[in-house]
Amino acid sequence: MPVKRYLLIESQGTWAGPNAARFIEDACVLAEAGNEVSLFLVQDGVFAVADGASELLKRLAESGGNVLVDDFSTAQRALPARSLPSHVKQVGMDTVVQELFADGCQVVWH
């Protein structure tokens, strides 16, 4: 099966319901299937780096996925860069645009 490229954007906090964690798990499954996956956490989605969902983020990183977190959203929520796990990369929206326009990228917003 040909490798595909995905950009998954999670904007909801993990307390908003089970779908946020499921969305991150979708990213893990896609990466484990050999696809190129970037997960971008934005708005309340950035809290995933600070609670139990981190295990899923680690799983995604270990599967070769990129775990990206929005610099503006983390700053607004008092999550300093030094508090982020090593498998999480803090980026600006310019990086998201580059990911979005990478060849063959499919994007899903949640």
Partner 1 sequence: MAVIAQRQWDLLLIVTAAPHSNDVITTALRLGQAALDQEKTVRVWACGYANMLTQNAHGTSKPVNTRDTQGTYPSSAEIVRRMLAENPGRLSWIACTACSAERGATDHISEIRYRSPARFLSTIQASRRTVFIGGC
Binding site for partner 1 (CB under 8 A): 9, 11-12, 42-44, 70, 72-73, 76, 92-94, 96-98, 100-101, 105, 107, 109
Give the shortest CB-108-to-partner 1 separation in angstroms.
8
Closer residue to partner 1, CB minimum distance, 36 or 70: 70
Give the shortest CB-62-to-partner 1 separation in angstroms.
28
Task: Give, in degrees to the nearest 5, the angle at Cα 96 between 82 and 85.
Answer: 25
Closer residue to partner 1, CB minimum distance, 78 or 86: 78
Closer residue to partner 1, CB minimum distance, 79 or 96: 96
- What is the DSSP secondary-structure string of the chain? ----EEEEEE-S-GGG-THHHHHHHHHHHHHHTT-EEEEEE-GGGGGGGTSTTHHHHHHHHHTT-EEEEEHHHHHHTT--GGGS-TT-EEE-HHHHHHHHTSTTEEEEE-
Give the shortest CB-98-to-partner 1 separation in angstroms.
8
Give the shortest CB-35-to-partner 1 separation in angstroms.
18
